[in-house]
Structure 1
Amino acid sequence: MFDPNRCLKQVSGLGRPVCLSVLLLSMTVIAKAEDPPNIIIVYADDLGFGDLSCYNSKAPYKTPRLDQMADEGIRFTDAHSPSTICSPSRYGLFSGQQIYRSTGRGGGAFEGPGGPSYLKPGTLTIAQMLKEQGYRTGVFGKWHVGLSWFDKDGKRLGGGFKNSLLIDYEKSTPLIDGPNARGFDESFVTPNCPNTDPLYVYIENGMVAVPASERHDPKSLPNPGGKWRWDNDAGWMSPGYDFMNADLLFYDKTEAFIREHRTKTPDKPFFAVLSTQIAHAPVLPAEEFNGATEAGPRGDFVWELDVLVGRVLDLVKELGIDDQTLVMFNSDNGAETLHVNWMRQDHQHDPSDGWRGMKRDAWEGGHRVPFIARWPGQIPPKQVSTQMTNTTDIFATVASAVGVSLPDEAATDSFDMLPVMLGQQDESNSVRPHLLTQSFRGEFQIRQGPWKYLDHKGSGGNNYEVKNMQPWALPEKAPDAPGQLYNLDDDPGETNNLYFKEEAKRKEMQELLSKLKSSGRSAPTNRKPFRKPIKARQ
């Protein structure tokens, strides 16, 4: 009998004897590596750069599962959200583009039946791109890129809270610009912030099972710490809408999607987005997480997020697809203003981790966010990268992992970070020659190496003259300057505006910004995947 563990056989083309069992094992590993990976994105909400213990060793709580994810993969320290507010950043995640590609300017956050979608017809989404490669796609949680709702006369409704009762659900559903019309096979989402902005309904595969017909009273919900219920707006809700367990529900829907997919079509890859509401206001951790930390309700809330990420990691291991799954974690902008104030005052915790600013601000605290990626066997562990990157880059990175050459007209602000993740990019060689972000009002900021130019005065978002913001206001050293220029290597706190002192550099940055805006793209053309094209499992 042939014993492959003892017999060496000359294999044609290799030119040397090899153990056949080793050869077969090697071929299996190579084939497995060339399969398109499953892809999971966990997208957090209003989570600051310093809100995870793997980023901030001084945090008054630990985030062990996210720390584990970072230890087993790569953690980026110069990662940014496309915008300093949620809806435009979510557009960036799904489209690989800055919001002005859709609106010609900035973009606000939707409330009530606000829309239509920022994701216009003809815009290639990351879900559509993967679906074309044979993936089954799903999104679960906060959607918040706008939806079209109609009244009984077929008239499109505007945003705000009062129009919620005017929705004609028969005319409005299935939604013409919901997730299922933008590349997702399965979806269970809320139109806006799940616990903040009515309308409070759940939408499953473009349909609303229970219309909003009851008036929600914020006082009906717990108020941990006497203040953390702040920003739970009164408005119209579906009877039985669950505020306290929203993220547990979103996780359960994500898990069910993955399990069902693995049961029915285990040979096909999947793409799942778990879009949490943590740590957006109001702070409403599920009951089982109350008191989990010594950092108050928001610490408990972040702990809940960490537990859910751990459940995702445990799930792919249980299903035996750990090595076949690329998991990414990211946030849509910095931490909310009052959250930053209260955490600093009550728990000596800085969600911005020393960076100036917070949600809505164009300074670093408004858009520098955690970004972690894990893919066992592909992404080497224990990597910490200083590469400059943006949430928009997830699109081109995923395309590269799947072996797709993106058309030039798609994902026009997306750079491929896969070589960095795989440990095959010299840290001194920046993938990005520049990086664009937009603040709350849609104003632009641009990075080039350590240089950062803000094409506006002030924060770009928050008013630092109001009482609760005054403690964090800094004196302006060039108050007459119409813009701001900082060298983050020398001045990470963005305190010394060099607008006049470094005139040549400022003009160079202004010209670069003007060029990128007028060219219609900031990403390179003719992008080729870092991994060779791979055939989707059918």
Structure 2
Amino acid sequence: MNLRKPSLALILALLASSFLAHAAKQPNIVFIFADDLGWSDTTLYGHTKLYKTPNIENLANRGLTFNRAYTASPLCSPTRSATLTGLSPARTGLTAPTCHLPKVILNASVPKAGNPSFPYLKTVSVTRMDTKHPTLSKSLKAAGYTTGHFGKWHLGPEPYSPLEHGFDVDIPHWPGPGPAGSFVAPWKFKNFDHDPGMPKQHIEDRMAKEAVKWMEKNKDRPFFLNYWMFSVHAPFDAKEQLINKYRKNIDPKDPQHSPTYAAMIESMDDAVGTLMAALNRLGIRENTIVIFTSDNGGNMYDKVDNTTPTSNAPLRGGKATMFEGGTRVPCVIEWPGITKAGARSNALIQSEDFYPTFLNALGLKAAPGQIFDGIDITPALRGKPLMRNAIFQYFPHSPPIVPDWLPPSVSVHRGDWKLIRLFHATKKGGHRYLLFDLKNDIGEKTNLASQKPKLVQELDGLIESFLKRTNAVVPAANPNFVPSKYRPELEGVPKKKKAKKKG
């Protein structure tokens, strides 16, 4: 018998065929990240009368809704980085949304001295998501996925754009914190304008259209659609007909009473509907994982229609605060074969969990030496208990224009208890603490720190271990501090923005 050895070309062809066959079995992933959407900004949790989100509601009816989903930070860029890297902002040093600024900073630091009116020194944030970090997009691309990023980025321009972080496509390739100019065309994007004949096209309509075209092109291979919405970030504008629609339904006594913001939420929800309709039409919904969540709580400090954009009630605070209104967000996950339709979970999850969850559930390997600050939440997705000790948020900043602002801080959630450590926020330079029982005080009205000193000590021990584990660059005591100038009674009181001079 004459047995010929297979050629190298044949071997490579067989390996490629085997690889593609395995990849074809893998589910698609659609990750929808709303921007500045608060926990009370959808109909998922029963705390809005004004906003309408039927498409998000339909997604929840098919998937699992998390009641206690948290972001890594109360601001966007740190949460976005944490989602893609699986690393806490405490570890990466990316703790503020400054990635659109021209100065490149890749290592966090603390100044040597500061304003004598404050006992603490805030950290200086990293301003780019460093390409040294493995990302979810890089891992999926290496596993045979085609990857596309659509919408907001805010983690740095080139060479730190989506194209350098594992994405094949990036539309509209915009590094800014919000849409360029406005939501309604004409926009100010470079080389990206409204469709012909649609002079007042809404950016979310256009982005959903582009994403659908991309899914149509890639429907026969596994894809990762990273759809990061511009909605509902500032600037605050919307379709005129929708604003007029909601203006008729405004109740001034309802804390949510901006018709413009309500219109923005409807356009956001419409985009979700467009994506889901495309998955259904293409016949790939049953092999597609869909995640819908937000990067931080709702905006409570800007003004639109002579009011704040929204209210996060019954939660306290909002975007840029470490209270629940700043970090608890809506979250729905539809994972065919794993999640149960219409189910709800009280498990504690956070931004850093998505990357390790996908790797483990899809049978993909982490890079050599790769670490995660999140965990695999697949048990919770299956409706089982999630074994985790605690979650942490790190925000070493104190934006004074925000209602309920706090000194630089870090928090821990364990069960129903939440402890916030305020770095060096006393006249003697020591830390100060806020302790809340969220089961009985979801609005964080009663600080129990003085009543439960042992619990404070125990939870603060978890915080200290977390900071050491992540090698966090932490705020320091201010050597220039003058106690007589300290005004702790003004903590949480928003400082008025300076009016711009005319002429």
Q: Which residue of 2 aligns with 1:444?
A: 410
SS of residue in 2 equivalent to 1:144: coil
Decide whether the 8 Å contact of 1:244 with 1:287 is kept in 2. Answer: no
Deviation at 1:57, TM superposition (A): 4.8
Structure-2 separation of matches of 1:121 and 1:345: 40
SS of residue in 1 equivalent to 2:79: helix
Q: Which residue of 2 aligns with 1:246?
A: 203
Deviation at 1:521, TM superposition (A): 8.6
Q: Which residue of 1 aligns with 2:348?
A: 388
Q: Which residue of 2 aligns with 1:203?
A: none
User: Which consecutive unaligned segments of at least 5 residues does structure 1 have?
Assistant: 1-30, 148-174, 201-215, 223-231, 461-479, 523-538
Whether 2:414 is the aligned partner of 1:431: answer no
Whether 2:363 is the aligned partner of 1:403: answer yes
Whether 2:139 is the aligned partner of 1:132: answer no
- Cα displacement string for residues 486-534 of structure 1 (whole angstroms, at most 9, x for unaligned residues): 1212322212212222111111111111112212399xxxxxxxxxxxx
Whether 2:230 is the aligned partner of 1:277: answer yes
Structure 2 counterpart of 1:443, one-letter code: S
Structure-2 separation of matches of 1:493 and 1:32: 48
Q: Which residue of 1 aligns with 2:419?
A: 453
Structure-1 separation of matches of 2:231 and 2:352: 21
Pairing of 1:206-355 with structure 2 (within 5 A): 238=190, 245-262=202-219, 266=220, 268-286=221-239, 289-293=242-246, 294=249, 296-338=259-301, 351-355=311-315
Structure-1 separation of matches of 2:245 and 2:218: 33
Structure-2 separation of matches of 1:513 and 1:335: 26
Structure-1 separation of matches of 2:363 and 2:213: 28
Gap change, CA 1:343 and 1:247, over 3 Å in 2: same
Deviation at 1:110, TM superposition (A): 3.1
Decide whether the 8 Å contact of 1:52 with 1:59 is kept in 2. Answer: no
Structure-2 separation of matches of 1:250 and 1:501: 51
Structure 1 counterpart of 2:78, one-letter code: P
Deviation at 1:132, TM superposition (A): 1.5
Q: Which residue of 2 aligns with 1:181?
A: 164
Decide whether the 8 Å contact of 2:33 with 2:295 is kept in 1. Answer: yes
Structure 2 counterpart of 1:52, one-letter code: T
Decide whether the 8 Å contact of 2:35 with 2:76 is kept in 1. Answer: yes
- Cα displacement string for residues 371-422 of structure 1 (whole angstroms, at most 9, x for unaligned residues): 1011344321011111011021111222223112435843521111122112
SS of residue in 2 equivalent to 1:305: helix
Structure 2 counterpart of 1:254, one-letter code: A
Structure-2 separation of matches of 1:366 and 1:185: 32
Pairing of 1:16-27 with structure 2 (within 5 A): none
Q: Which residue of 1 aligns with 2:29?
A: 39
Structure-1 separation of matches of 2:218 and 2:268: 24
Decide whether the 8 Å contact of 1:79 with 1:388 is kept in 2. Answer: yes
SS of residue in 2 equivalent to 1:387: coil
Q: Which residue of 1 aligns with 2:475?
A: none
- Cα displacement string for residues 71-94 of structure 1 (whole angstroms, at most 9, x for unaligned residues): 111100100111111111111111
- Cα displacement string for residues 177-226 of structure 1 (whole angstroms, at most 9, x for unaligned residues): 2111111111113101233xxxx4xxxxxxxxxxxxxxx7x8x989xxxx
Deviation at 1:279, TM superposition (A): 1.0
Structure-1 separation of matches of 2:154 and 2:373: 20
Structure-2 separation of matches of 1:100 and 1:331: 20
Q: Which residue of 2 aligns with 1:497?
A: 447
Gap change, CA 1:327 and 1:411, over 3 Å in 2: farther
Structure-1 separation of matches of 2:81 and 2:23: 31
- Cα displacement string for residues 115-164 of structure 1 (whole angstroms, at most 9, x for unaligned residues): 466321321100011111111111111000123xxxxxxxxxxxxxxxxx
Q: Aligned Cα RMSD in Å?
A: 3.2
Gap change, CA 1:245 and 1:53, over 3 Å in 2: same
Structure 1 counterpart of 2:235, one-letter code: P
Gap change, CA 1:177 and 1:32, over 3 Å in 2: closer
Decide whether the 8 Å contact of 2:23 with 2:144 is kept in 1. Answer: no
User: Which consecutive unaligned segments of at least 5 residues does structure 2 have?
Assistant: 1-20, 106-126, 195-199, 251-258, 398-407, 473-503
Structure-1 separation of matches of 2:232 and 2:433: 31
Decide whether the 8 Å contact of 2:65 with 2:332 is kept in 1. Answer: yes
Whether 2:476 is the aligned partner of 1:516: answer no
Decide whether the 8 Å contact of 2:52 with 2:265 is kept in 1. Answer: no
SS of residue in 2 equivalent to 1:193: coil
Decide whether the 8 Å contact of 1:330 with 1:391 is kept in 2. Answer: no
Decide whether the 8 Å contact of 2:236 with 2:260 is kept in 1. Answer: yes
Structure-2 separation of matches of 1:356 and 1:457: 20
Structure-2 separation of matches of 1:180 and 1:509: 40
Structure 2 counterpart of 1:490, one-letter code: N
Decide whether the 8 Å contact of 2:300 with 2:319 is kept in 1. Answer: yes
Structure 2 counterpart of 1:453, one-letter code: L
Decide whether the 8 Å contact of 1:85 with 1:360 is kept in 2. Answer: yes
Structure 1 counterpart of 2:275, one-letter code: V
Q: Which residue of 1 aligns with 2:89?
A: 99
Pairing of 1:118-157 with structure 2 (within 5 A): 118-147=128-157
Structure-2 separation of matches of 1:257 and 1:416: 29
Decide whether the 8 Å contact of 2:63 with 2:339 is kept in 1. Answer: yes
Structure-2 separation of matches of 1:343 and 1:413: 41
Decide whether the 8 Å contact of 1:390 with 1:435 is kept in 2. Answer: yes
Gap change, CA 1:34 and 1:508, over 3 Å in 2: farther
TM normalised by structure 1 equals 0.68
Gap change, CA 1:287 and 1:516, over 3 Å in 2: same
Gap change, CA 1:286 and 1:342, over 3 Å in 2: closer
Decide whether the 8 Å contact of 1:83 with 1:440 is kept in 2. Answer: no
The number of equivalent residue pairs is 400
SS of residue in 2 equivalent to 1:140: strand
Between the two proteins, what is the percent identity of the paired residues?
25
Structure-1 separation of matches of 2:165 and 2:465: 30
SS of residue in 2 equivalent to 1:394: helix
Structure-2 separation of matches of 1:36 and 1:288: 42
SS of residue in 1 equivalent to 2:170: strand
Decide whether the 8 Å contact of 2:243 with 2:262 is kept in 1. Answer: no
Decide whether the 8 Å contact of 2:294 with 2:330 is kept in 1. Answer: yes
